[in-house]
Structure formats: structure tokens, C-alpha cells
Chains A and B, each alone.
Chain A
Amino acid sequence: MKTSHLLSGIAFAAMFAAVPVSAAELRFACYQDGVECDAWSEAFKTFESENPGTTVAVDVVPYKSIVEGLPLQLASGEGPDLARVTDLGGLAQYMLDVTPYVSDAAKIEEQYGKTLAWTRVNGPDDKGIYAIMDQQTATGPFVNKTLFDQAGVEMPGKGATYEDWAKAAKEVAEKTQTPYPMAMDRSGHRYMGPAISYGAKVFDDQGNPITVDDGFRGWSEQFVEWNNDGTVAKEVWAGAGGSSYQDAAKEFTNGSLVMYVSGSWQIGRFGRDIGDAFDWVAVPAPCGPGGCTGIPGGAAIAAFKHTKSPEELGKLIEFISREDVQAEVLAKTKNIPANQSLQVKGIDYENASEDEKAALTTFASALSEFSPVAFQFQGYKNNRAIMNAIATRVTQAIVGESTLDEALERVDTDVKEAVAAAK
């Protein structure tokens, strides 16, 4: 009898032991400007509870790793399952179309179609879902309002040109003894907003880059001049080499900069770092002959082809696209939503100051008026090559290593070579 019971027990245990339990771990490489990775880590706990057996490991990495290291990993068939990236067009070749793995592709298309276009590099019939924006950004200026008030200078209004702003900022800087009237991040991405406003067409009718034209030249002449006459803080562009990115956020937050051309991703940082030290505002993109535009952009969470868990990855991408999830994350990160519904409804940002709320509203509004050329540029798969060439060559003109004509000729050559190499 005892032997019989023992055998029965063994059989019962084996019955459950033989039942397979699926498990998947998705690795997410994430960079953050503020608290984005922290917010997503928190949100993924909900995903994990909804999907037992699937876990998401968030690896917080420097932005530089995303820009330089990630493409190498992906090109060799390695890397994370998904990553928070900005070079959507450039990395699109490595992305996984999760359409077969989501339950409602039409809804995702409805809510994110405009930005999904930035990853659809396989021709006009490409309707894939490769990445979901977790923020949309807009480039444009921030202004130290307190300095304007102290100087008794009226801020230029909507429709003001870059020259109008430069004149006003210089006056404020002189009257308040502020070191820097203006500054712009050392970035080809920042540069292209005013370039397009000055009339740069960027692309020909066939969609090929024609970076250097009269509009581009006009802005370049102005920018180089301003760097050398002290209107623009020279050390931001001239104080670095190669295509290195350099910002001027510190100069703005410590009150030594009147007007700072950067982007909406800085809002959360400024809210934290400036606090009540001074009043600051975002202003609409200044104007030129070509319009009044910055460059749209943002970060997206992209799925990659080499994943061993495409089904789980598809579920995660769909989770990331949900309106309620986006709202929760954006409330913490204080960014502009890419989700169409949330753009209409707005976000109830957590602990946002009045300056932060106003800046977010300004950038969101400005974004809707950006030039179609700016959107085209953002989605162009080789846009980073253009941006690299701009940072390198325009700096050479600023510091006198080459004339502006030589620099612009090199921009053109560099871009053509890059396009050829990338084919």
C-alpha cells in the first residue's frame, strides 16, 4: 500500500513538473534627458503584471552610447530588444515591424501615424509599426524673462525675426551686464530650424539633399558673424571639435545667457534647476524669409529585428502606445505628447511650475506650425550625416580654419559622400 501511494505521489508531481512555463526578458536600452527611464521603469511594472512571465530590464545608458554604440551593436545583429532612440530614419533598417504582434494596429496608426512615417524607409507602401514616440520635441528658443524685465526691454512678439531677437537680446545683455546675449546648442539639428526659416530648401523635388543653397548660406553668414561679434556665445560652437554636441543649458540656468536656442526636452531640467531663481519662457520660433520653424523630433522606443521574443516585444510596443500609459509617463517627464488624442486633451503634468506649463504649451503650439520641410528633414534617413557636416564645417568657418565659402563647399561634399556611402 505504501509503495502504491508513493508512486501515485510521484506521478502527481511529475504532472505539474512537466507543464512548460514560458518566460521572456526584454532588454531596453534607455537614455534620459530628465527622468524618462525612471518613468518607464515604473510603467513597465504594470506591463509585467499584465503579462506574467515577461520582464523588462531597463538599462540606463548615456545618450552617446545610443548614438555611437547602438548602431554598431545592431549592425552586428546584437544589442537590446528595444531602445530609446532619436535617429529614427538612420536606425530604421534594424527595426522590427511589430504589426503582426499587436492587437489593434489601426489604433496605433491613428494615434501616431505622423511620427510613424519617420521610421518607414521602405517606400510609400511601408505601413509598418517600428517605434512609438514617447515624446515629441520641438526646437526653439528659451528666454530669461527676468533679464528683459530688469533691462526694461520689451520682448519681441510672435513673428519677430532672428535679427529682432538678436538686437533685443544684445540690448538686454548690455543693460544687465549679462555675458551672453544668445547661444545655440552645437548641433546640426538646432541649426536647421533657423536655416529653413531663412529659406533653406534642404531637398530637391526627388527628395535628394541639396543642403547648401541661398537660404542655408544666408543663415550661415549670419550665424558665423554673430559668433564672432559676441552676439552668440562663441565657446559653445567654437569650444569643441569634430561633430561633438555641446549645449548651453548651464549658461542659461545660471542666468548668464539671455536667449538660448535649444528644445522642449529642456523644460523639465529648467524647471528643476532654475526653480524660482528667475522667470523664463519659451517663445515661438523666430522668423525668416522661409517661415518660422524649428525642427520637430523626439525620442522613440524602437523594437529591433534580432529579438528572440517578437511576440512579447510586440505586446510591449502596444503597451507603450496606450494613451493611459503615455499620459502617466509624460506627466512625470514633462514632454510634449506624440499621441494625437493626448495632444488634444493635454497632460496633467506632475508638480509643473507655471513657467514649465507655459513653455510646454508654447512648444506644442509652435510644433503645429513647423515647416513641412522640417518634418521631411527629421524623417530623412541620412539627416545625421547632414547634421555632423554642419557642426564640423560651420565651426571651421567660425574659428577661421576655412572661409565660409570653403566650409559650405565641404558641407556639400561631406553630405554627398555620406549619402553615397550609406547606399
Chain B
Amino acid sequence: MLALQKMTGAQRIAWVFLFPNLLIFGLFTFLPIFLNFFYATTGSDRILLPDRPYVGLENFQSLLACESYLDPNSCARDIFWRAVHNTGWFVILQVGFMILFSLVTAMVLNRDIPLRGFFRSVFFYPVLLSPVVVALIWKWILQRYGVLNAGLEAWELPVTNWLVEADWAFFWIVFVSIWAHMGFYTLILLAGLQAIPSDVYEAAEMDGASKWRVFSKITMPLLMPTMVVVIVLSLIRAVQAFDEIFVLTGGGPGSATTLLLQYIYETGFAYRPQLFGLAAAASLLMAAVLLVLTLLQLAATRRQAEG
């Protein structure tokens, strides 16, 4: 090792240790991204890049061709735009409500309540379940002759075909996703809350600050770095949502719960012919949107910190 350090120099030896990880990261992350750019500019259903004809930006043009972006039916790729709209609403609702519920739960679990350890476990448990298991459990609950309808019928309440009605299906994919992932973010926020010094709260209490004032002037500002992490992670995760939804609803009814990642998967792999170029273009557009959102988020956070 000393000989190696002498050979490379003290500064460069770090790269030697990083090389294996960089090699794997490059091979399985950067190379696919790099290839994706090429695929996005090709047509045909051939899988091997040399066999695919160059089509320039045709795939992007096809995806973006609309008379009105607010009306998917006016678009050449109507299902892509349905997926865009669905993803947008899903992100807003899922991220918004999940963070709210996670924060409330974390604040409750941060108090000295009976059976606190048990409840922390209960809220975290869904995170440990496979997404497929989560979806199958809820599918069993929500299907026409499932547990929920059986219960409602027993109480002589109206039943609904929950997964066949578009609005209800969308509600349930948001609900199930929150249920499945809330525990993870609750845990992060709980850690953030526990990192806040207790003497700050004691000082506020001595000064007679109201609970809302304590929350808005002490808890939230001090929790903001953790909150940024939660927002960024949950946002990215929401845009990339696929697994629970695909098993629960298959993107249906129709395409009411088809999100972007499912569109990409189906376009590139499930449909015949397999339109890899179109799928690659869609994934790049999604990545671009994600990048912009993340940068905006970080910029807003930086401004808030500086203010």
C-alpha cells in the first residue's frame, strides 16, 4: 500500500480506491444514460443501436405534438399526455398529503405518549413490505367483492367498484402510495425533530410563545434542512411511481392511473412493436422535468436560508 501511495502520490491514491465504484457506477448508470440519448434519436423496433435508423428529433416532436396540452385527446401521443397529467396531479396530491401526514405523525411520535415504540413500529412497518405485496393487499380490499365493499354492504351503505371508477381509482393510488411510504419520511422527520435542542423550546415556553408560534418560528425553520431532503426524495419518488400502481390498477381504468414511468415501460417493452426510441425520448423528457424541479427546489431553499 505504501508503495502504491508512493507511485500515485498522496492526492491521487483516493482515485484508486474510488475506481471500482466508479467503474460500476459508470457501467450501470452513466452508460445507460448515454445510450438513452442515442436511442431517443432513432426509430424502428430493432434493439441493437447499429440496426436503428437515425430520425433526429422525430420522437420528441411526436411526443410534444398537441393542439392543446390541456386536452390529451388533441395530442398525437394522447396516452403520453394523459400520463403527464396524471403524474402531475399524483405528485401534487401524494407529496403534499404525505409530507403533511408524515410531519403530524412525527410530531405526535416525538412526544412522550404511551406505547410510543409500538406506534413507531406500526407506522414504519408498511415500508418494509414489497410494493407488490402492498398492492395485492389493497387490491384484495378494494376489488368489487373485496373486504371494503363487504364491510360497507354489511352496514347497508352504498358500495362502489373502487378500481373501475376513474376518480376513485386515482384516489386510491394516492392513498395506497401514502400508506406505503409515509413511514419512511416520518422516520426522517422524527430524526430531524429529535435533533432540535430542547432548550430552544424551553426558552420559548418561558417567553410565553403560542404553540403555533413555536411551530412556525422554531420547529419548522430548524426542521427545514430535513424537510428539504424529504421533499426532494418524495418528489423524485412520486414522479417515478410505478410498482404499486401497476399491480393495483394496471394504469386503469383506461389510462386514468397511468403515470409516466408506466407509459415508458409499456412503450418500450410491453407493446408490439417495442418502440425503444419513443420510450427513451419520454424518459429524457421526464428526467429533464425532474432536473428542473430539483434545481428550482434547491434554489428556493437556498434563498430561504439566506433570507
B163 touches A239 (CB 8 A): yes
The 0/1 profile, CB within 8 Å of B marked 1, for residues 66-89 of chain A is 001001100110000000000100
Interface size class of B (residues with CB under 8 A): 35 or more
Contacts of A90 in B (CB 8 A): 272
Does A214 touch B at the CB level, under 8 Å?
Answer: no
Q: For the complex, is B250 an interface residue (Cβ under 8 Å from A)?
A: yes
Do B45 and A422 have beta carbons less than 8 Å apart? yes
Bitwise interface map of B from 159 to 181 toward A, beta carbon under 8 Å scored 1, else 0: 00101101000000000000000
Tell me if B45 and A401 are in contact (CB < 8 A).
Answer: no
Stretch at the interface among B3-11, B30-38, B198-206, B255-263: B255-263
B-contacting 9-mer, from A51-59, A242-250, A339-347: A242-250
Question: Is there an interface contact between B269 and A72, defined as CB atoms closer than 8 Å?
Answer: yes
Chain B residues positioned under 8 Å from A243 (CB to CB): 266, 270-271
Main secondary structure of the interface of B (DSSP, over half): loop
Complex Cα–Cα for A387 and B255 (A): 17
Contact B256 A399 (CB under 8 A): yes
Closest to B245 in A: A241
Selected from B78, B82, B163, B256, the residue in CB contact (under 8 A) with A410 is B78
* Complex CA–CA separation, A402 to B254 (angstroms): 10
Contact among A76, A246, A382, A406 for B48, CB-based, below 8 A: A76
Chain A positions 243-262 with a Cβ under 8 Å from a chain B Cβ: 243-244, 246, 256
CB of A307 within 8 Å of the partner chain = no
Is A75 a contact partner of B46 (Cβ separation < 8 A)?
Answer: yes
Find chain A residues with CB under 8 A from B43 CB: 421
Q: Answer whether residue B273 sits at the interface, using C-beta atoms and an 8 A cutoff.
A: yes
In the bound complex, do residue A398 and residue B254 qualify as a contact, i.e. CB atoms below 8 Å apart?
yes
Would you call A239 and B164 a contact (CB within 8 A)?
yes
A240 touches B250 (CB 8 A): yes
Residues of A within 8 A of B44 (CB): 421
Instruction: Tell me the nearest residue of chain A to B269, going by C-beta.
Output: A68
Within the complex, the shortest CB–CB distance from B163 to chain A, in Å, comes to: 6
B194 within 8 Å of A (CB atoms): no
> Contacts A68-B270, A243-B271, A421-B44 given: A396-B164 contact, CB under 8 Å?
no
Chain B residues numbered 260-307 whose CB sits less than 8 Å from any CB in chain A? 262, 266, 269-275
Q: Mark B41-59, 1 if CB is under 8 A from A, else 0.
A: 0011111100000000000
B73 is an interface residue with CB less than 8 A from chain A: yes
Measured as residues with beta carbon below 8 angstroms from the partner, the interface class of chain A is 35 or more
Enumerate chain A residues within 8 angstroms of B134, measured Cβ to Cβ: none
The reply to whether A71 and B274 form a contact with Cβ atoms under 8 Å apart is: yes
Q: Is the CB of A235 within 8 A of B164?
A: yes
Docked complex Cα distance between A13 and B78 (Å): 74
Which B residues touch A384, using CB under 8 A? 272
B238-256 vs A, Cβ < 8 Å mask (1 yes, 0 no): 0000000000011111111
* Contact yes or no, B270 A241, CB < 8 A: no
List residues of chain A with CB within 8 A of the CB of B161. Answer: 234-235
Bound-complex Cα distance A384 to B274 (A): 11
The answer for the CA separation of A388 and B45 in the assembled complex, in Å, is: 15
Taken together as a complex, chains A and B put the C-alpha atoms of A410 and B80 apart, in Å, by 14
Give the docked Cα–Cα distance between A235 and B82 (Å): 21
B149 shortest CB reach to chain A, Å: 12
Indicate if the CB atoms of B269 and A395 lie closer than 8 Å.
Answer: no
Q: When the two chains form the complex, which single residue of B48, B145, B257, B273 contacts A418, counting CB atoms closer than 8 Å? A: B273
Whether B79 is near chain A, meaning CB under 8 Å from some CB there, is: yes
A392, B78: Cα distance in complex, Å: 12
Q: Can you spell out 16 A-B residue pairs with CB atoms less than 8 angstroms apart?
A: A179-B144, A234-B164, A239-B249, A240-B252, A241-B249, A242-B251, A242-B252, A244-B252, A385-B271, A385-B272, A387-B272, A395-B252, A395-B254, A398-B253, A400-B166, A418-B271
8 pairs of A and B residues whose beta carbons are closest in the complex = A241-B251, A241-B252, A240-B250, A384-B272, A75-B47, A399-B254, A238-B253, A401-B254
Which residues on B are within 8 Å of A, measured CB to CB?
A: 43-48, 73, 78-79, 82, 143-145, 161, 163-164, 166, 249-258, 262, 266, 269-275
Given contacts A399-B253, A421-B44, 7 further A-B contacts (CB under 8 A): A235-B144, A239-B252, A242-B266, A399-B256, A400-B166, A410-B78, A421-B45
